[in-house]
Structure 1
């Protein structure tokens, strides 16, 4: 893969940040540095995204005790976990698939982003990586792990629901969230997973099937918005840090480039609107539990 595909290049041009993107692009590698390998081996979770056989993009999260994720070699990531049966990515990850991944450590706000091709191996995955990069920690809330994972994969799943729109309780959960993850893919299916954060309320629920959030100043790579320009499909994951339940949303997203609209939202460079086509909520999907957040000092006030 080249560093940037045409969609990313076009978004960088529209934003007037081609030079910054070129500089940031030098951080994208196809190998796992030693310091990154050590970081990954210490993490109890990794976000993963991809496109299912119906063409819908989903985002989810795999968990396990420290060491469940490790660098098998400088080009390969081994993950000893698979999604639970109710997870919308379960079928996709039972075969070879393009995936985007991001490992975050909330306690230190460190994160590592990885894109490649996953294949099932034993009770987990083997991911051949073609993009590896460390991201800026802006807008990542600080949390401490209070209940660690004791085994690979989800535990304690109690229920799962599917519907075409958000319930009132799910709408409230989104409007009080400070973090979500978004998966996208280019026109060839190469997937990417990214993080979005802000003070509670930064995601607006415009209706039971439409959300909107601000795009703040970032690393100028525009990997998410570049994908959306060529392929509007997207998948969101809103984790419940207290209960371990996951709210998965899939649909289509578009970028609003009108500067007058962005000016109405503090800190916004542009806005993204997301139209929901399906909602999947899985309770008890993660064994991890986290402390109350310490909000990032970079979060714009609402």
Structure 2
């Protein structure tokens, strides 16, 4: 990283602690190494999680979502995550192949607390595992196996501050351009024509509708 001119950067943990302070004992003791009834119950009710992975080439945070319980708890230290149809770029899976450490952040709509689960990930096409993850009569081609090494519940402050679930604070959907419009302008460096915009939006909408599973 090139250090920006005129900006002080913290480069050691002592400097961080001097400003941020030490965590309380109650904060650190909540970290556990096995799934138990509360974490299993939270995962079973969660329809959405964020998957964080990294490699020598960079890092990615990817959304994962389906019906509540789509992440399957195989036992006290193992989770199965289905790989549903996507754009085939497969950044997360490529990262896992090269660097197994990964993290999950589970959300439940309407709840302000979250569950963080960390561990080592692996890819599999093992049929018995894939069958456990079938949805809409379709079995995924691949799954991520997470060997859990750490988990803990995260407090509600970020969600309280953001008002994420407060419908009165939600932005009107048309306040931003459509997804297709933004992608085309990023690629071409200029706003697309109305015809091109309509065509890409139609294609994206059809793909989202027809290729969920």
* Shorter-normalised TM range: 0.5 to 0.7
Which residues of 2 match residues 67-146 of structure 1 at below 5 A? none
Change (3 A) 1:203 1:260: closer
Aligned residues: 144
Once residues 260 and 247 of structure 1 are traced to their aligned partners in structure 2, the CA distance between those partners, rounded to angstroms, is: 27
Q: How far is 1:166 from its partner?
A: 2.1
Measure the CA separation in 1 of the matches of 2:61 and 2:11.
19
User: 2:143 and 2:157 mapped to 1: Cα distance?
Assistant: 30
Match of 2:88 among 220, 223, 235: 220
2:126 counterpart of 1:258? yes
Alignment of 1:243 with 2:115, yes or no, is no
TM-score, with length taken from structure 2: 0.58
The ranges of structure 1 where at least 4 consecutive aligned residues each deviate by more than 4 angstroms after the TM superposition are: 93-96, 296-300
Match 1:283 to one of 145, 151, 155: 155
Over the aligned positions, Cα root-mean-square deviation in angstroms equals 3.0
Aligned to 1:162: 31
Give the unaligned 5+ runs of structure 1: 1-92, 97-119, 121-158
The Cα of 1:260 is off from its aligned counterpart by: 6.3
Higher relative contact order (CA 8 A, sep 6+): 1
Query: Alpha-carbon deviation of 1:262?
Result: 2.8
Q: Decide which structure has greater strand share.
A: 1
Residue pair 2:124, 2:142 contacting (<8 A) in 1 also: yes
The structure that has the greater radius of gyration is 2
Q: Which runs of 5+ in 2 are unaligned?
A: 1-8, 17-25, 168-207
Hey, what's the Cα distance between the residues in 1 that align with 2:151 and 2:112?
17
* Structure with more helix by fraction: 2
Distance 1:173 1:260, change over 3 A: closer
